Amino acid sequence: MANMSPNKTPMAEASAEERRHTFNEVALGYTEAEAMIEATRCLNCRNKPCVSGCPVNVNIPKFIAEIAAGNHRAAYDIIRETNSLPGICGRVCPQENQCEGKCVRGIKGEPVAIGRLERFAADWYTSENGGASCPAKKPSPDAPRIAVVGSGPAGLTCAGDLLSYGYNVDIFEAFHTPGGVLVYGIPEFRLPKSVVMREIEALCLGGARIFTDMVIGRIKTVDELLAEGYAAVFIGTGAGLPSFLGIPGENSNGVYSANEFLTRINLMRAYRPDMDTPFRPAKRTVVVGGGNVAMDAARCAVRLGSEDVYIVYRRSEKELPARAEEVKHAKEEGVEFKFLTNPVEIKADENGNVTSVVCRRMELGEPDASGRRSPIEIPGSEFEIEADAVVIAIGTTPNPLIKETTPGLASDNRGRIITSDGVTTTHSAVFAGGDAVTGAATVILAMGAGKEAAAKIRDMIESKRTAD
């Protein structure tokens, strides 16, 4: 009989005071007993609405039933059938808007904690196997070889599925470390890098080769990869080009894009005293934006010692695009929110160092094209926030390098690669997915695109074999 408790089984978290001073993971995960109790809340619905909300089509009721029965290895294996990154998804997927958003238990209470249970299964497997990953079966050496450009969630997922289809995979990563946004963008306290490395290790054990410091479009072009004998190329390079406000003073010392700020912290470990990463400590930090990236930047600033950290957002709290959990954690850690506020100028001293941000108060008018109410400036409402660091977290666009060096690869006016079906580009044998196609989105949506691209590549290769 199902557990009809209207509320999720609570999950332990580090205290707010403790986590202000450490990059250790905030959410501590379920114990085995807690996971099994939560799993019994699942009604095992006949129509499985939760599955329809999962971009990678995990058989959610099936794996949850196995956890409830104490068959944790079986649960993990079920997840891995369609999701090659369960430890990551269980931590950073916006489940509330996807699988959990479809859960019927959410109609009269809280939905089943699907994300927490997925994390439990992944962490249980790791614990029971001495930290080892789950290797896939290695492809035959003479099987077709596919080039995957980018080792973020789209690229890793595409690679994992291609391996399962029996193809060889080479992954090309521009940075010195694989993982893409999973390592440079998401802080350790939300997604430990050890978790990411475990998932990458699984691909390598399964036969994938990873080449770092490989900037495709500069060192090699996409066409050169095809000329070398790759049967197809998947482009999963993300959206790493930051957007800025275009206001006076934005070039002052102490102004960062969120990409630069988070990369210095997450990838280059600026918070560690034994690292030589250039970084200026700040007493007062202003973060502009309202998404998950803004929350990450603000919470990092707290941990780096900023006494005052502000999030400046031009709409109200109701319109915040960030996950509710991230907003809650930011508030608990002392971040102050300035809603209905828009920066109009960054002031600096005679040496060019940031001293303050001039802001203007806003009010909400009619909805814009996205459906959100448009912010309208209130004349004469200017005020200043003292600051010696400003982080701009208002979005990113794809880097133009690949599209500029790949003739026949169409893109739109925002630099996003154009596809006919979400993954098939205008260039023969070239596929793309994730943020490179959609612009900045979520990890799980990028993974869904990677899965779809792998299936399209398989279909292309098999149709050619049939034709031959």
Task: Provide the residue-wise pLDDT of the chain in tens; the chain has 468 residues.
Answer: 678 889 999 999 999 999 999 999 999 999 999 999 999 999 999 899 999 999 999 999 999 999 999 999 999 999 999 998 999 999 999 999 999 999 999 999 999 999 999 999 999 999 998 776 665 568 999 999 999 999 999 999 999 999 999 999 999 999 999 999 999 999 999 999 999 999 899 899 889 999 999 999 999 999 999 999 999 999 999 998 999 999 999 999 999 999 999 999 998 887 888 877 777 889 999 999 999 999 999 999 999 999 999 999 999 999 999 999 999 999 999 999 999 999 999 999 999 999 999 999 999 998 888 788 889 999 999 999 999 999 999 999 999 999 999 999 999 999 999 999 999 999 999 999 999 999 988 999 999 999 999 999 999 999 988 876
Query: Residue 149: enclosing H or E segment and its boundaries?
Result: strand 145-149
List, as one string, the DSSP characters of 232-251: EEEE-----EE-----TTTT
- Asked whether 223 and 407 are in contact (CB, 8 A), the reply is yes
DSSP state of 425: B
Between the CA of residue 378 and those of 313, 340, 356, 383, what are the distances in Å? Answer: 15, 10, 20, 12
3-class secondary structure, 12 = coil
**Assigned CATH for 145-240+397-467:** 3.50.50.60
Choosing among 3.50.50.60, 3.10.20.30, 3.20.20.70, 3.40.30.10, the CATH entry for 244-394 is 3.50.50.60
Write down the pTM of the prediction.
0.93
pLDDT given at position 132: 64
3-class secondary structure, 228 = coil
Q: Report the half-sphere exposure of 290 (CA within 13 A, side-chain side).
A: 17
Report d(CA 420, CA 438) in Å as an integer: 13
Same topology for domains 16-128 and 145-240+397-467, yes or no? no
pLDDT given at position 190: 96
Kindly give the pairing relationship between strand 354-367 and strand 241-242: unpaired
pLDDT given at position 210: 97
pLDDT given at position 133: 65
Instruction: Tell me whether residue 46 is exposed, middle or buried, using C-beta atoms within 10 angstroms of its C-beta: 0 to 12, 13 to 18, 19 or more.
Output: exposed
| Cα–Cα nearest to 264, from 166, 389, 151 | 389
Domain limits, the chain: 16-128, 145-240+397-467, 244-394
For residues 376, 378, 383, 387, the Cα torsion angle rounded to the nearest 10 degrees is 0
pLDDT given at position 465: 82
pLDDT given at position 1: 61
pLDDT given at position 405: 96
Domain 16-128 has CATH 1.10.1060.10: yes
